[in-house]
Amino acid sequence: MEDDGVAQPPQPIVIQTGTPPEPTPRLDANISIPATSIKLPGNLSPQTVEAYQSIMLRKPNNLGLTLLAVGFPLMGFIGIMSLELPFYDAAAFCGISLLLGFAVSLFVWVRGGLWNNASKEAGQRVLKEAGVTDTPPEAWPGIVAAACFLLFIIVAGDGLFGRGGGDLETLAILGTFVFGSYHGWRQSLYRKELNRKVWHLLNVNNSASQE
């Protein structure tokens, strides 16, 4: 007996050649993008960015040494007041403590200055390659402070030979302090603005490359 339904004709068999396309993977928001895939602006190279970041990570921590530099003279003063040493022993003890404090202060100042110069040069290199405007502060306050300090040394040397410096020595000390402080303040503001520009530049481009 034949079925009442209408027989369907056989369907053709389609044979596909080649490999089917693989599904496109979806990136998770938590997956970090390699540094080589970050699109940097202008001619800014990844090596310049890595050099800047490496220098910023090596910022010295001078808090402990600064406290030690202050502590040495303080310990010397307390020791003289409490031990009741003879005059020559007290003078020697005080001199050694002041010398140690000065040596530690000089080390902190040199190390901090070297890092500041290195970080400033690295930040300036980043802005220069990226084509961002950079306006360093004037150098004349530092030059005037150095000249005043040299004048103080000359006047103080004359004072050792009995000629004395008088008001000129006081003006030299005052000029060194005023212009040196002003120069340091301007440089500190410039370094903060420089780091802000570099951070903003890298952060904006990293965010844009991840969108």
Please give the Cα distance from 47 to 166 (Å, whole number): 55
Task: Grade residue 15 by pLDDT with cuts at 50, 70 and 90.
Answer: very low
Tokens, residue 59? 């910022």
Greatest mean pLDDT among 72-76, 168-172, 183-187, 206-210: 183-187
Domain boundaries, the chain: 42-136, 137-186
Express each pLDDT in 129-151 by its tens digit. Answer: 888 888 888 899 999 999 998 98
Please give the Cα distance from 171 to 206 (Å, whole number): 52
Express each pLDDT in 101-131 by its tens digit. Answer: 889 888 998 998 899 899 999 999 999 888 8
pTM above 0.75, yes or no: no
SS3 for the chain is CCCCCCCCCCCCCCCCCCCCCCCCCCCCCCCCCCHHHCCCCCCCCHHHHHHHHHHHHCCCCCHHHHHHHHHHHHHHHHHHHHHCCCHHHHHHHHHHHHHHHHHHHHHHHHHHHHHHHHHHHHHHHHHHHHCCCCCCCCCHHHHHHHHHHHHHHHHHHHHHCCCCCCHHHHHHHHHHHHHHHHHHHHHHHHHHHHHHHHHHHHHHHHHHHHC
Tokens, residue 140? 């004349």
* Residue with token string 């003006």: 171
Asked if residue 182 has pLDDT above 90, the reply is: yes
Task: Give how far the C-alpha of residue 167 lies from the chain's centroid of Cα atoms, to the nearest Å.
Answer: 40
Through-space distance between the first and last CA atoms of the chain, rounded to whole angstroms: 68
